[in-house]
Structure 1
Amino acid sequence: MAAGADEEADPILLRAQARAQRKSLGRLSVLLRRSVRLVWASSPRLFLGLLVLQVAAAVALAGQVLVVQAVLTAVLALEQESGLTPALWIPVAGLAGLTAATAIIGAVQGHMQRMLGELVARAMWDQVLGVATGVDLASFESPGFFNRLQRVQSNALSRPYQVTQGLIAMGGALAASVGVGAALATISPLLLPLLVIGGLPVLLASRRESRLEFDFSVRQTPSLRMRQYLTLLQTGRDEAKEVRAFGLTNWLHTRFAAVYDGYLEHLGQHLRRRARLSILGNLASAVVLVLTLGVLVWMIVRGQVDVAGAGAAIVAIRVLATQVQTLFAGVQRIFESGLFLDDLQGFLQLARPASEAAPRPPAPAAFAVVQADRVRFTYPGSQEPAVREASVELRAGEVVAIVGENGSGKTTLAKLVAGLYEPDDGAIRWDGTDIRTWSPASVHSRIAVIFQDFVRYALSAEDNVAAGDVSGPAHEGKVRAAAGAAGAAEAIEALPQGYRTPLSRLFAGGHDLSGGQWQRVAIARGYYRDAPLVILDEPSAALDPRAEAQLFANLRSTLEGRTAMFISHRFSTVRTADRIYVMAAGSVVEHGTHEELMRAEGHYAELFRIQAAAYLPTEPPGG
């Protein structure tokens, strides 16, 4: 899946796909149906209400043309001595009423469109977040996936609102064009086709503009991601201390300015190209409008249209020209947004294979043996496998250690055993059954993983522990028991609000913890999940030596018979494990108990002695 995401996110391929999209009536029909479904699913009531208001606005505009003609007729027929007559003030009052109604309808439409746009955006966020949390973990190792995710967040999620506006503007302009066109037809049918032709240059220019906009967005996605990353480095809480300690402020800001300047230069070029197209389209449209008005003057001179009809026709031409341009602008907005919606649709498809797969049974509640059977895994974009032909075995109730130098593949192997990565070759088996036989969610629920780079949730201490199992409400007694087993209870209970205290200074009343205290909270999170298999990735990295020794001394009693797989590069912590697997360059190079591995005089014995030498007294010179 990750490789597919990488392919689909390739900028050259995306631009080629965009250019291949023909701006045809068939394409417009597809986009309109998709847009209507999108908006309708968000709020049928608001959508229908806006359509009703659009029709009302169209009727009001058509009425204004006819009332203007009635007013002019009454004015021309008015005798100087007769004063105001019903023939004059009735159409004048009608014109005022229709003008006020049009203004009120416009104001109400604005508020309703804003609300509908937010509802559409909310629906899109739900789908995008569903994909982001539903794709396999390997997708997050792919730059292509992040490019696509960034593009969806910055463009495709705002486009549904523009589609909503474009769709409603099209509906209103179409209804108004029909109404005003019918009114104009009573004066002179010849003027209608000229006004329609006047909108075509705008549409043709808009077609090219939509392609330019999508191409620009695709090209600038990496630049936008880098700007956001450099912004995070300068504003992030965790990064702030190192930025100041190393004096990186000017260095980072200079890089940020350089990236932004490059973007602004390309943006200027892009906007100038769009402006030229827009000017050409509108100039051509203006020329056709002048010709239309010239035809009207010619008809007045020949007596084919009277003065009142001419006045009403001028109003109708101006209104209809605006509506025709609005209609074509709405079409252009749908086309332009359609390219981004296609990109969004492709992103949403990333999670579809898993959702459409046949339902799988749940994993068993317990197991006798867990095996990694000759598994191989390569990260997206990498040429060399991170894990190659690795096999490990964990029997129920055992404590098994995975050791090795940095980069040896320990954490990747743990993620494979946890079902977070799917092996390219080989299999993870429970009692001989491949875990891919069961639903991924049920497999994950049987495993508690404590990562070295665990998440520090800016939530209460209770929430941080209870995040280990959110299948039901947090159980206070269970939270306290898990915190006690991990050695986190003392630090939490010393906080102003105890377990209710937010563990972050981002929010009022919040308090932060030390690195070691946070590590204990993360371990408590794993203990809170009553899973038969517990995987601990460098669980003592932030602990002091006393706390580390206590953690491993109490590990068996704390787990209460559950199976544990823990990863460490500190060989002193693994001596009591039932079995130790030693990894190097992605492979398991030896395994056994501490005593067996030391007698073998292999890789483990070498690394153990190197680490032990740092703590042993050295002989004095000449001793």
Structure 2
Amino acid sequence: MPPPLPASRMNMRQRFSAMRNIAPFLREIWGTSRPMTLASIGIRLIRAFLPIATLFVGKLIIDEAVHLLGLGVEHELLPAWHAGQLDHLVTLLAIEFALAIGADLLGRLVAYVDTLLSERFTNATSIRLMEHAATLDLEDFEDADLQDKLDRARRQTMGRMNLLSQLFGQAQDVITVISFAAGLLAYAPWLMLLLAVALIPAFIGESHFNALNYALNFQWTPERRQLEYLRQMGASVDTAKEVKIFNLNRFFIERFRFLSDTFYAGNRILAGKRALWGTLLAALGTLGYYIAYAYIAWRTVRGDFSIGDLTFLAGSFRRLRQLLESLLSGFSQVASQALYLDDLYSFFRIEAKIRSKPDAIPVPAPIRSGFVFDNVGFRYEGAERWALRGLSFELHAGEVLALVGENGAGKTTLVKLLARLYDPDEGRILLDGRDLKEYALDDLRANIGVIFQDFVRYHLTAAENIGVGQIDAMHDRARIERAAHRGMADEVIDSLPKGFDQVIGRRFKDGVDLSGGQWQKVAIARAYMRDAQVMILDEPTAALDARSEFEVFERFKELSDNRTAVLISHRFSSVRMADRILVLAEGKLEASGTHEELMAQHGRYAELFELQASGYR
């Protein structure tokens, strides 16, 4: 059963207030390219007067033809031509021909300029969207409501391309309307009043249905995201294996069909009502036109107007009616587009909570004493349970610290707090005796190299996959090769057909996919690209066998001399090489010490170690 049509989210006053978005939109267009913006406006200004000029020349042609008929030249073409009686008519025809050619040329020019300007504006807005998204907090991206806003904003960067042409076209039509209206007012002023009365109902109806269409799209943002997700899951190289083995294609297809059919049903109802009411309201405009046409014809029969006047007035009224309908409908559509722009600009208005203070200081080099977690507590937005609570410990400069604990113990959250991807809800984190919030955010993160367990697999070359770890050294091949060697990814890259220049991943042509373990070694090499004072490995070796993980961690410890390092792993045989081990449980620090000290305590660590060790016996 189709969903009920949504109620309009805005009344008429609120819809008009959305027009405030047009001013910043126009400023951005101007900022995109001033020469092209001026060219588009100038060409349209010329085009605005062509319709009235063409129609008036047509009137003169008809009047001249009637005049020549009165002279009896209809059967004497050549004598009339030689006598010069047709000169005026030929001149008028040549002018109308030139106007027709000019109108076509200017139309093509404005389309050309608008296409280039729209493309540049779309690209500039997309860049701005990515730049702003980069400033937002990690917590923002984990919020479903913000994901909806981001999805709507992303669609607006592409969906507003024709708003530019629409706005400039509206301005052109306004000038044309003024020129036609001036002619009508000179003959019969009340015709303008008749036209306005006939068109206003159609405008109100169009505005109402545009608002309903926006409300439907706004209401269905989460479902649209689900549709896109299902489309990707059902036809993606990343999911193809499981989709085939578990025969998930029918499941995804049925769910996609249900959601898409439901959304289609809502759109169909709205489109049907819009078509019905649009037809009825447009009929009022048609009725107004024919009343005016009858009046003009009667005045012509009475001798008040010439045949040319009849043609000019009837054509002017018809064109004026069409233009006003287009203007009112276009204004309603612009108002609707302004609502969509609100989605884009509301996203740009979101501000990050985690940012550098104006007087932020650089991270000390080298770090002298290290980090202190002072009664730190953190809870994710909307969660009832605290991810971390009452956490206090020290991470000394140059120390290799291991974090262990069962899933959900808070290990990854601790690392994110250390990198200031989150700020604590309680307590504070100190670096060399000063709160992390006092340090410049970019400098802090530049001094921390992190590889998370859910690292990104970039479908770029092997060199670029490593180079993104230090973007300003992306073209330093020697540094990339050293990082690959440290991360034990050099053997993986040597086996690729094009070595470091090989695109990895199956998304693009000629790409070579890697195994999970190979991808992880590339990701670890990425961390070594950064000459960071603090190195963090958050379970990045899950796809490696026990021997390979041990070798990675052993290499990591060797290369961590004079650096502060944090290891997270579920394999206790690997973390025992750390200088100190922290045991987390339900967001709290349960125990701390070396491997030997923790085993002697016979607590959770010893229990989990023996449980895991028994699986290898």
User: Where on the TM-score scale, by shorter chain, does this alignment land: which range?
Assistant: over 0.9
**SS at 1:535's partner residue?**
strand
The one-character-per-residue Cα deviations of 1:312-363 (angstroms, maximum 9, x if unpaired) are 1111112222221222222112200111111211111113777896363333
**SS at 2:14's partner residue?**
coil
Distance 1:43 1:411, change over 3 A: same
Q: In the aligned structure 2, how far is the partner of 1:141 from the partner of 1:392?
A: 28
The alignment status of 1:33 with 2:23, answered yes or no, reads: yes
* Corresponding residue number in structure 2 for 1:351: 351
* Corresponding residue number in structure 1 for 2:306: 306
Find 2:14's aligned residue among 1, 19, 22: 22
**SS at 1:615's partner residue?**
coil
What is the correspondence of 1:206-605 to structure 2 with a 5 Å cutoff?
206-351=206-351, 358=358, 360-367=360-367, 368-605=369-606
Q: In the aligned structure 1, how far is the partner of 2:336 from the partner of 2:227?
A: 25
Q: Report the AA paired with residue 414 of structure 2.
A: L
Distance 1:484 1:582, change over 3 A: same
* Residues 204, 281 of structure 1: 8 Å contact kept: no
The one-character-per-residue Cα deviations of 1:33-66 (angstroms, maximum 9, x if unpaired) are 2332132122222222121111211221111121
Q: In the aligned structure 2, how far is the partner of 1:431 from the partner of 1:169?
A: 62
Distance 1:92 1:186, change over 3 A: farther
Instruction: Tell me the CA shift for residue 141 of structure 1.
Output: 1.3
* Corresponding residue number in structure 1 for 2:139: 138
Q: In the aligned structure 2, how far is the partner of 1:197 from the partner of 1:354?
A: 56
Q: Report the AA paired with residue 343 of structure 2.
A: D
Q: In the aligned structure 2, how far is the partner of 1:361 from the partner of 1:274?
A: 60
Instruction: Tell me the CA shift for residue 436 of structure 1.
Output: 1.2
Instruction: Tell me the CA shift for residue 401 of structure 1.
Output: 0.5
**SS at 1:400's partner residue?**
strand
The alignment status of 1:50 with 2:51, answered yes or no, reads: no
* Corresponding residue number in structure 2 for 1:11: none
* Residues 598, 605 of structure 1: 8 Å contact kept: yes
Of 131-140 and 200-209, deviating more is 200-209
* Residues 365, 446 of structure 1: 8 Å contact kept: no
Distance 1:413 1:574, change over 3 A: same
Distance 1:196 1:490, change over 3 A: same
Q: Report the AA paired with residue 89 of structure 2.
A: L
* Residues 137, 354 of structure 2: 8 Å contact kept: no
Of 367-376 and 561-570, deviating more is 367-376
What is the CA RMSD across the aligned residues, in angstroms?
A: 2.2
Q: Report the AA paired with residue 332 of structure 2.
A: Q
Instruction: Tell me the CA shift for residue 472 of structure 1.
Output: 3.5
Aligned residues: 600
Q: In the aligned structure 1, how far is the partner of 2:596 from the partner of 2:430?
A: 28
Structure 2: segments with no counterpart, 5+ residues: 1-5
The alignment status of 1:181 with 2:181, answered yes or no, reads: yes
**SS at 1:303's partner residue?**
coil
Distance 1:205 1:218, change over 3 A: same
**SS at 1:559's partner residue?**
coil
Structure 1: segments with no counterpart, 5+ residues: 1-13, 617-623
Q: In the aligned structure 2, how far is the partner of 1:437 from the partner of 1:132?
A: 23
Q: In the aligned structure 2, how far is the partner of 1:331 from the partner of 1:46?
A: 24
Q: In the aligned structure 1, how far is the partner of 2:65 from the partner of 2:8?
A: 61
**SS at 2:559's partner residue?**
helix
Q: In the aligned structure 1, how far is the partner of 2:352 from the partner of 2:421?
A: 18
Instruction: Tell me the CA shift for residue 523 of structure 1.
Output: 0.8
* Residues 169, 326 of structure 1: 8 Å contact kept: no
Q: Report the AA paired with residue 122 of structure 2.
A: A
Distance 1:361 1:58, change over 3 A: same
Q: TM-score normalized by structure 2?
A: 0.92
Distance 1:357 1:94, change over 3 A: farther
**SS at 1:383's partner residue?**
coil
Of 290-299 and 353-362, deviating more is 353-362
**SS at 1:511's partner residue?**
coil
Q: In the aligned structure 1, how far is the partner of 2:157 from the partner of 2:294?
A: 45
Q: In the aligned structure 1, how far is the partner of 2:362 from the partner of 2:185?
A: 69
Q: In the aligned structure 2, how far is the partner of 1:148 from the partner of 1:246?
A: 34
* Corresponding residue number in structure 2 for 1:65: 55
Q: In the aligned structure 2, how far is the partner of 1:20 from the partner of 1:87?
A: 53
* Corresponding residue number in structure 2 for 1:201: 201
Distance 1:188 1:521, change over 3 A: same
* Residues 58, 96 of structure 2: 8 Å contact kept: yes
Distance 1:345 1:354, change over 3 A: farther
* Residues 406, 569 of structure 1: 8 Å contact kept: no
**SS at 1:469's partner residue?**
helix
Of 193-202 and 547-556, deviating more is 193-202
The one-character-per-residue Cα deviations of 1:99-147 (angstroms, maximum 9, x if unpaired) are 2222222222222222222222122212211222221001121111111
Of 399-408 and 103-112, deviating more is 103-112
Q: In the aligned structure 2, how far is the partner of 1:345 from the partner of 1:27?
A: 11
Instruction: Tell me the CA shift for residue 376 of structure 1.
Output: 1.9
Of 177-186 and 467-476, deviating more is 177-186
* Residues 8, 215 of structure 2: 8 Å contact kept: no
* Residues 285, 321 of structure 2: 8 Å contact kept: no
**SS at 2:536's partner residue?**
strand
**SS at 1:566's partner residue?**
strand
Instruction: Tell me the CA shift for residue 22 of structure 1.
Output: 3.0
Distance 1:356 1:248, change over 3 A: same
Q: TM-score normalized by structure 1?
A: 0.91
* Corresponding residue number in structure 1 for 2:72: 80
Q: In the aligned structure 2, how far is the partner of 1:31 from the partner of 1:592?
A: 59
**SS at 1:496's partner residue?**
coil
Distance 1:228 1:347, change over 3 A: same
**SS at 1:394's partner residue?**
strand
Instruction: Tell me the CA shift for residue 580 of structure 1.
Output: 0.8
Q: In the aligned structure 2, how far is the partner of 1:196 from the partner of 1:352?
A: 49
Q: Report the AA paired with residue 422 of structure 1.
A: D
Instruction: Tell me the CA shift for residue 188 of structure 1.
Output: 4.0
Q: Report the AA paired with residue 80 of structure 1.
A: G
Distance 1:357 1:80, change over 3 A: farther
Alignment identity in percent? 32
Q: Report the AA paired with residue 205 of structure 2.
A: A
Instruction: Tell me the CA shift for residue 232 of structure 1.
Output: 1.0
Q: In the aligned structure 2, how far is the partner of 1:396 from the partner of 1:339?
A: 53
Instruction: Tell me the CA shift for residue 221 of structure 1.
Output: 0.9
The one-character-per-residue Cα deviations of 1:281-339 (angstroms, maximum 9, x if unpaired) are 32222222222223323332443322221111111112222221222222112200111
* Residues 376, 425 of structure 1: 8 Å contact kept: yes
* Residues 483, 489 of structure 1: 8 Å contact kept: yes
* Corresponding residue number in structure 1 for 2:3: none
* Residues 356, 437 of structure 2: 8 Å contact kept: no
Q: In the aligned structure 1, how far is the partner of 2:474 from the partner of 2:352?
A: 30
Instruction: Tell me the CA shift for residue 183 of structure 1.
Output: 3.5
Q: In the aligned structure 2, how far is the partner of 1:33 from the partner of 1:17?
A: 22
Q: Report the AA paired with residue 22 of structure 1.
A: Q
Instruction: Tell me the CA shift for residue 592 of structure 1.
Output: 1.3
* Corresponding residue number in structure 2 for 1:6: none
The one-character-per-residue Cα deviations of 1:435-482 (angstroms, maximum 9, x if unpaired) are 111222111101000111111111111111111111244322221111
Q: Report the AA paired with residue 51 of structure 1.
A: I
What is the correspondence of 1:119-138 to structure 2 with a 5 Å cutoff?
119-138=120-139
